Chain A
Amino acid sequence: MTKYTILPKDVSESDFDAAVKEFTAILGADKVLTAGDKLQPYSKIMLAVETDKHAASAVLLATTVEQIQAIVKVCNTYKIPIWTISTGRNFGYGSAAPVARGQVILDLRLMNKIIHVDPELCTALVEPGVTYQQLYDYIEENKLPLMLSFSAPSAIAGPLGNTMDRGVGYTPYGEHFLMQCGMEIVLANGEVLRTGMGGVKGDKAWQVFKWGYGPTLDGMFTQSNYGICTKMGFWLMPKPPVFKPFEIQFDEESDISEIVEMLRPLRIAQIIPNSVVIAGTLWEAATCNTRRSDYITTPGATPDSVLKQIQKDKHLGAWNVYAALYGTPEQVEVNWKIVTDVVAKSGKGRVITKEEAGDTQPFKYRSELMSGVPNLQEFGLYNWRGGGGSMWFAPVSQARGSECEKQMAMAKTILNKHGLDYVGEFIVGWRDMHHVIDVLFDRSSEEETARANACFSELLDEFEKHGYAVYRVNTAFQERVAQSYGTVKRDVERAIKRALDPNGILAPGKCGINI
């Protein structure tokens, strides 16, 4: 019996006592949480596994880099594993909870300074706790001619955490890691590394030149456990004189192949400069407050006939394409003609402009996402089935119609087999597709949770057989997904881990990386 809710793996109570005492000396008593009711909010996960598997033993609230340096030293002394979060709003990927039971959460949300925003060079440097809403408010209050790019949970998530997890957004700057420029990293031994130009004394180019000299290291700190990012620079898009969002609706699920073939050339040529979204009926209906129970209360997958009814009732397409044009009036006019000509020539698809859509949803929130205005509309997905279960399944593919059609059919078949629905969208990168599927289930039902877990496993297995893997995954499946990428990659990752973090104190198990 221990006085703690749980202990970190292989750490004795006396060692944990000593570590907590030292953490308290570093941070103050109110910044070291060990009581069960204070840890409970950090355990709220949406995954199809037991909550206990991801329960933390303590939470540390750091406010300075120096404190983090001191914390890792204590962790090395007592072999305490720490799991770092910034805002901890990675819902559906694990939220704030650690990858393994007993890890100590290092919560950096109180490090929330916007260190600088340069409106001329269009760059920013922020701490981990800065949210997109905070940055948006700063830009608005200071009337800066800049546009943010963020993922759908925008308002409450933050640029550092999203970028470190290689999240994407919906503007022309939507590939967030591509727009990252300069990191400050606390290493496991307590040293502070600045990537790119950041190590040069007197340098002013940290946020404008990514590569620096020698190996470019930034990438290895993303989706990894090699260091703790305490500052990150990134580029901001200048606000264009004209922003023209539009939607193209397609009536049939089988249209997906033609849609992709039609859009890819426009995307690669940058006629359409932002990440085009191709969202299915259920995605769009759910984000606009449609609940499954509005239509059907029998268990299992929602029949196609019901999907068609929802499509009709909510004035949606089977596929709903969202994109936007950005630039001067002349640029937008030229590109608009190219886009509408391509759609007209295809003989399919209804183009809907902002003027036609007005303030209706989902056009409104999609338009906001593409113009850097935060909102929380997409959380409506969690009301489709209710019950608090969500796991993102996000396989990558080439931006080819045949690939998307194949992936969509495979995913729908597997989900329906397990009594769950295909709630998915494709995000068209420059040449790739992020196929994002929200595996939604009722986590209050043990039976449905078990089904969702089996479904997710089967999705990973079957997609892998066809040469597909996900680009990101929730904490319950990170070890499994690491296996998809091969043993050589894993060996290299482990060698780096052992070199940089010989005691394995930083987020052991994250992305399947251990010492």
Chain B
Amino acid sequence: MNSMRREVLKSIAAASVAIPAAASVPASAAGLHRTGAAASGTARVLPVIAGLPLDAAFVRGVITASERSAATVAPTQSIGKLDSAAIAALTVASDGRPTTIVGLTDSATAMLVLGHMRSKNATVVAMTHHRLAHEANAAAWAAHIGELAVAQALSPAALLAGAADDGAAGAAYVPDGISYMSFTCVI
């Protein structure tokens, strides 16, 4: 992510304000095509986790941001142990309705989810790799990533700013640190 985009996202995060729903900001203004949840009225958000220490914090962030945007939150899908059935179940969990899928997982799980999203014609709004020095004190970071991931799907301004970013979420990128990947898709 370039520094300008990072700054925009930081400002959104720092302000900690309610992020406007997509309907209030024309997608065309950001040069984006919005075909998913945000465009359909009431947004539906499906959190995806992978049995990692920061799962609960991430989901908390997703719920917070969803409530702020009056979006409904579907039951969290846990994809542990690289299970193909669980990944395929994401489509079922979306229940045939436009759904924003937001995840904070390991790289392998994210890779599989994104591959599945492509096969289902989903839109991948954002995906970002993260590196943390420690998981122990990263709950606030994970919650913030959850909030930002939802914001990306529901707000062109946040999407324009870039992917959920470590700096914006209050944790520095640490080379060779613990790896995570966040993603936002609309199916």
Contacts and interface: CB of A to CB of B under 8 A. Distances in A.
B123 A379 contact: no
Interface string B19-33: 000000000000011
Nearest to B122: A41
B89 interface: no
Interface residues of B, number: 39
Contacts of B179: 291, 293, 383, 385-387, 442
A470 to B, nearest CB: 22
Nearest to B123: A37
Nearest to B173: A444
B108 A382 contact: yes
B107 A386 contact: yes
B111 A382 contact: yes
A444 to B, nearest CB: 4
A374 interface: yes
Given A387-B129, A444-B129, A44 B124 contact: yes
A7 to B, nearest CB: 17
Contacts of B74: none
B33 A41 contact: no
Interface in B96-147: 106-112, 114-119, 121-125, 127-131, 133
Nearest to B36: A37
B115 A388 contact: no
A120 B82 CA distance: 34
B111 A388 contact: yes
B95 interface: no
Given A386-B107, A444-B129, A37 B32 contact: yes
* Dominant secondary structure of chain A at its interface with chain B: loop
A448 B176 CA distance: 10
A28 to B, nearest CB: 13
Given A40-B124, A293-B177, A376-B112, A386 B131 contact: yes
A109 B129 CA distance: 28
B131 A387 contact: yes
A239 to B, nearest CB: 22
Interface string A74-117: 00000000000001110100011000000000000100000000
Contact of B82 (A35, A87, A95, A380): A380
A41 B114 contact: yes
A155 interface: yes
B84 A156 contact: yes
Contacts, number: 119
B107 A42 contact: no
Contact of B129 (A42, A89, A298, A443): A443
Contacts of B117: 41
A44 B111 CA distance: 9
B177 A155 contact: no
A111 to B, nearest CB: 13
Interface in A35-76: 35-38, 40-42, 44, 46
Interface size class of A (residues with CB under 8 A): 35 or more
Contacts of A297: 133, 174, 176-178
A29 B116 CA distance: 22
A44 B118 CA distance: 10
A442 B108 contact: no
Contact of B114 (A35, A36, A44, A448): A44
Contacts of B35: 35, 37-38
A136 B115 CA distance: 20
A292 interface: yes
Interface in A443-475: 443-445, 448
Contacts of A36: 32-33
Contacts of B107: 382-383, 386-388
Contacts of B112: 156, 376, 379
B84 A155 contact: yes
Nearest to B174: A297
A376 B83 contact: yes
Contact of B106 (A91, A96, A374, A383): A383
B174 A375 contact: no
B115 A89 contact: yes
A387 B44 CA distance: 28
Given A36-B33, A133-B84, A374-B84, A380 B108 contact: yes
A292 B131 CA distance: 12
A91 B131 contact: no
A376 B84 CA distance: 7
Nearest to A40: B124
A299 interface: yes
Interface in A293-309: 293, 296-299
B181 interface: yes
Contacts of A377: 82
Contacts of B125: 37
Contacts of B108: 379-383
Contact of A445 (B106, B109, B123, B175): B175
B49 to A, nearest CB: 15
Nearest to A87: B119
A298 B107 CA distance: 19
Nearest to B117: A41
5 contacts: A37-B32, A299-B175, A382-B108, A383-B107, A383-B179
Given A37-B32, A46-B111, A388-B107, 6 more contacts: A44-B115, A297-B176, A376-B82, A383-B179, A387-B179, A444-B129
Interface of B: 32-33, 35, 82-84, 106-112, 114-119, 121-125, 127-131, 133, 173-181
